[in-house]
Amino acid sequence: MEIRKALAVACIALAPVVQAEESDNWKGEAELGVLVSSGNTEETQVNGRLGLVRETLNWRNSGNLSSKYTEADDETTAEEYQAALQSDYKFDEQHYWFVRGAWEDDRFSGYEFESTLTTGYGNRIWQRGERSFLDLSAGAGYRYNKLDSVDPDTGRDVEEEAIVRLAGQFDYGLSENSLFRQKLSTETGLDDNNTITQSETSLQSNIINSLSMKVAFRVKHVSEAPVGADKTDTETSLVLLYAF
């Protein structure tokens, strides 16, 4: 039943692609990866992601939805859902002000959910063509995380504090058919100094028309992870990507 739930979420996330394709103001990419193995180990992995960007003269709005599910020998070993929305008000082609909201539900992270709301200044300090650029941003905001259980040190089941956010994204078109992308962000709490750092390094290569193959390596590190949870999670994925 859980695998059906993951597939349903992936399909719902990919559904807006049809409508987005009909609008010149929208650009995006949809990813889907499925791995099924049998024999000594029965395992199923499903990864799905939808990213959309709408850009006008003064605004750039972007959103990301993703899901990940893994089942081995009828036991769920990974289940994660993420959503992030960001609006940038562009002062010019280089400088902008952003507002960003993010939510994450990782069943095995020690949190029921994690959420942040941040705002700050961004600068596209370099750009060449439409596919190669470097964005850097800095801001502040608020973090609200719900723990799976009560923290024995604080006696509470929530983490809430003001945070500082630093982030960057580097896209580089290696050729007309390949793209390298590096994303990096860190959010540091001003009260408990809990720092959450996330990195994604990816390389995608065109197969035919708008269809590409993408390999990615992701790392998430939590300096003060909940009791019983690992501080660092890593993931390597190989997916099909459809750009529109």
Euclidean distance between CA atoms 113 and 145, whole angstroms: 6
Rounded CA Rg of the chain:
19
What pLDDT sits at residue 23?
Answer: 52
- In degrees to the nearest 10, what's the CA dihedral of 128, 132, 138, 140? 130
- Please tell me the distance from the alpha carbon of residue 203 to that of residue 212, in angstroms, as a whole number: 10
Per-residue pLDDT reduced to its tens digit, 121-177 = 999 999 999 899 999 999 999 999 999 888 777 778 899 999 999 999 999 999 999
For the chain, where are the alpha helices, taking DSSP H only?
A: 2-14, 17-21
The whole-number pLDDT of residue 171 equals: 97
The whole-number pLDDT of residue 211 equals 97
Beta bridge partners of 39: none
Q: How many CA atoms lie within 13 A of 23 on its CB side?
A: 14
Average pLDDT, the chain: 89
Question: Looking at residue 28, what is its pLDDT?
Answer: 92
Q: Where are the domains of the chain?
A: 51-63+75-243
| Per-residue pLDDT, 40 | 67
Please determine, looking at this structure, whether the domain spanning 51-63+75-243 carries the CATH number 2.40.160.40: yes
More confident residue, 12 or 36: 36
Structure confidence at residue 193 (pLDDT): 85
* Encoded amino acid at 73, one letter: D
Mean predicted confidence (pLDDT) in 44-53: 94
The predicted-structure confidence for 81-107, as pLDDT tens digits, reads as follows 999 999 999 999 999 999 999 999 999
Kindly tell me if the per-residue pLDDT of 77 is higher than 70: yes
Which pLDDT band, with edges at 50, 70 and 90, does 13 fall under? Answer: very low
- State the pLDDT at residue 152: 74
Rounded Cα gap, residues 77 and 107, in angstroms? 9
Helix, strand, coil share of the chain (percent; to 5): 5, 70, 25
